[in-house]
Amino acid sequence: MYNLPGDPAGFAQYGRFNNPTWDAVEEILGHLEAAPAVAFPSGMAAISATFFSLLKGGDRVLLPSDGYYTTRVLAERFLKPLGVSFDLRATTAYLDGGFDGYRLVFVETPANPGLDLCDIAAVAAAAHAAGATVVADNTTMTAYGQRPLDLGADIVVAADTKAPGGHSDVLFGHVASRDDAVIAAARDWRKLSGAIPGPFEAWLVHRGLETLEVRFDRMCSSAETIARRLREHPKIEAIRFPGLEDDPSHALALAQMDRFGFLIGVTLASQEAAEGFIDRCALIQPATSFGGVHTSAERRARWGDAVAPGFVRLSVGCEPVEELWSAIEQALG
Ligand SMILES: Cc1ncc(COP(=O)(O)O)c(C=O)c1O
């Protein structure tokens, strides 16, 4: 709480309403997004704020069938009972079937974990023509790698838990938009629902953002090197990385992404092969998150994602790339 004598207008009033450390981190996030940003205690809190501040009973939402699964569970468990229906569509097929009748069209590209892409500009144009608001989850890319608002999306949501925080020690999220009404609604939702970020977490993310550009650059460059080598490795049965010329998403990635990201999807022969690889590699941390300075990996089928049992999502960190490759090669061998 703050010292608040007399007329409260114009002062910090109460910690659920405002906080100077939120202001500081929102200023940097807003600078990165070139749009006002509202801070939240996690990526899901940012996504929830968007849903619950904009949707009402009778609305229809389109969600990716292959994106981060918790967004779909949230819709099933908490939007549906309020009378908000939703449909699922594969990210590569997002333009198929049009957007008539949707209040909100939610894209996630590259989708986590399969790394398929959709054309944000084309989706935004068609969705706007149908009267829908377009929300882009930009967690896998950050504003350094892809700029959905410049491509026509109305709202960006992101888990700053990942590369922006960058040190695997904080959860955080934000909503960014150039629409003042969206920002005002997100702020109201935060204040009234009480889903507020802690000041210490805001400070950690502020500190992380100071180095995001150099970390992201290093991680993306290393991922390009490692993806090329993994593609040639006999133990790798399939690989997805938008930066590879033969990846089905490559042409679109070149057109709409500034970098190819730091996530690589690799498929090994089996669950045992995938788990053995993760456990044996001295420079891979087994973890269900990504975007940290340390390389991490996870066998995604353990959460029920529609991927092969041997599919591993590899998040390339900031280690020296040759040492990292040696450790990966040794673990695969
Ligand atoms: C694409 C995507 N969006 C949102 C989230 C949710 O972020 P948080 O765990 O900070 O709530 C995640 C988390 O993995 C994610 O991968």
Predicted pLDDT at 150: 98
Can you list the residues of the chain whose pLDDT is less than 70?
none
Which class for 125: exposed (0-12), middle (13-18), buried (19 or more C-beta within 10 A)?
Answer: middle
CB of residue 168 inside a 6 A radius of ligand 1: no
State in Å: Cα 281 to ligand 1 middle. Answer: 25
Question: What CA dihedral angle connects 19, 24, 27 and 32, to 10 degrees?
Answer: -130
Predicted pLDDT at 314: 98
Closest of 110, 112, 104, 117 to residue 69, by C-alpha = 112
Predicted pLDDT at 12: 86
Q: Name the residue of 106, 139, 170 to mutate for ligand 1: max ligand atoms within 8 A of Cβ.
A: 139
Q: What is the pTM of this model?
A: 0.97
Residues in the chain: 333
Strands 263-267 and 311-315, sheet pairing: antiparallel
Cβ neighbors of 232 (< 8 A, separation 6 or more) are none
pLDDT in tens, 26-74: 999 999 999 999 999 999 999 999 999 999 999 999 999 999 999 999 9
Closest of 120, 184, 173 to residue 149, by C-alpha = 120
Question: What CA dihedral angle connects 239, 243, 246 and 252, to 10 degrees?
Answer: 120
Q: CB–CB of 151/256 below 8 Å? A: yes
Closest of 168, 167, 138, 173 to residue 256, by C-alpha = 138
State in Å: Cα 68 to ligand 1 middle. Answer: 7
State in Å: Cα 43 to ligand 1 middle. Answer: 5
Query: The tokens of 184 are what?
Result: 């005002």
Predicted pLDDT at 304: 87
pLDDT in tens, 300-323: 999 988 899 999 999 999 999 999
User: Counting atoms of ligand 1 from 1, which one is nearest the CA of 42?
Assistant: 10
H or E element that contains 296: strand 296-299
259 Cα distance to chain centroid: 15
Strands 263-267 and 133-137, sheet pairing: unpaired
Predicted pLDDT at 327: 98
59 Cα distance to chain centroid: 24
Neighbouring C-beta atoms of residue 210, cutoff 10 Å: 11
CB of residue 141 inside a 6 A radius of ligand 1: no
Interhelix angle for 199-210 vs 20-33, to 10°? 40
